[in-house]
């Protein structure tokens, strides 16, 4: 066996061992990061204030929460690197928007108090839900 083949084999073994010993949350985050990267866009960890961007990921939660007497559909979008709060003002429900659904959103991000929020984004439903 050549040295480079041995190094590749050793690298694969380390990768398998790290997956076996990693916490479930770490594995889910790594898998979601790979999926989000394949779709494209900006990772949540790299979002900046007042930037127009696209973020892809899975909806963890979807809640109806009135704001000032106006309905607001709020969702947490997780992409493996972090989360983005997505809020559709004036909406009680949107067909296809449900926990576990993969989506891509496009709009302006607002970063305040350590939270990233996107109001009334354009969105695209993606195929393939998470388990």
* Count of helices and strands (H, E) across the chain: 2, 6
CA–CA gap between residue 77 and residue 58 (Å, rounded): 6
pLDDT tens, 97-130? 999 999 999 999 999 888 999 999 999 999 865 4
On whether residue 30 sits in a domain, the answer given is yes
For residues 24-38, average pLDDT? 71
On whether residue 38 sits in a domain, the answer given is yes
On whether residue 46 sits in a domain, the answer given is yes
| Residue 107, beta-bridge partner list | 53
Q: What is the pTM of this model?
A: 0.73
On whether residue 116 sits in a domain, the answer given is yes
On whether residue 63 sits in a domain, the answer given is yes
pLDDT tops 80 at residue 7 = no
CATH code, domain with 33: 2.40.50.140
CA–CA gap between residue 105 and residue 75 (Å, rounded): 11
pLDDT tens, 38-68? 777 888 888 999 999 999 999 999 999 887 8
Q: What is the pLDDT of residue 67?
A: 78
On whether residue 95 sits in a domain, the answer given is yes
Range of the domain at 94: 3-125
On whether residue 131 sits in a domain, the answer given is no
Total domains in the chain come to: 1
On whether residue 130 sits in a domain, the answer given is no
Give how far Cα 8 sits from Cα of 2, 11, 12, 18, 20, Å: 10, 5, 6, 15, 19
């Amino acid at each position: 066996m050549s040295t480079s083949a041995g190094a590749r084999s050793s690298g694969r073994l380390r990768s398998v061992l790290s997956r076996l010993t990693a916490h479930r949350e770490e594995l889910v985050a790594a898998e979601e990061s790979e999926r989000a990267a394949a779709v494209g866009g900006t990772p949540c960890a790299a979002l900046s204030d007042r930037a127009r961007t696209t973020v892809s990921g899975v909806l963890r939660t979807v809640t109806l929460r009135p704001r000032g007497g106006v309905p607001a559909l709020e969702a947490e979008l997780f992409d493996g690197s972090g989360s983005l709060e997505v809020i559709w003002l004036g909406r009680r429900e949107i067909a296809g928007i449900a926990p576990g659904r993969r989506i891509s959103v496009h709009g302006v991000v607002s970063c305040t108090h350590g939270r990233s929020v996107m109001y009334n984004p354009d969105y695209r439903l993606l195929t393939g839900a998470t388990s």
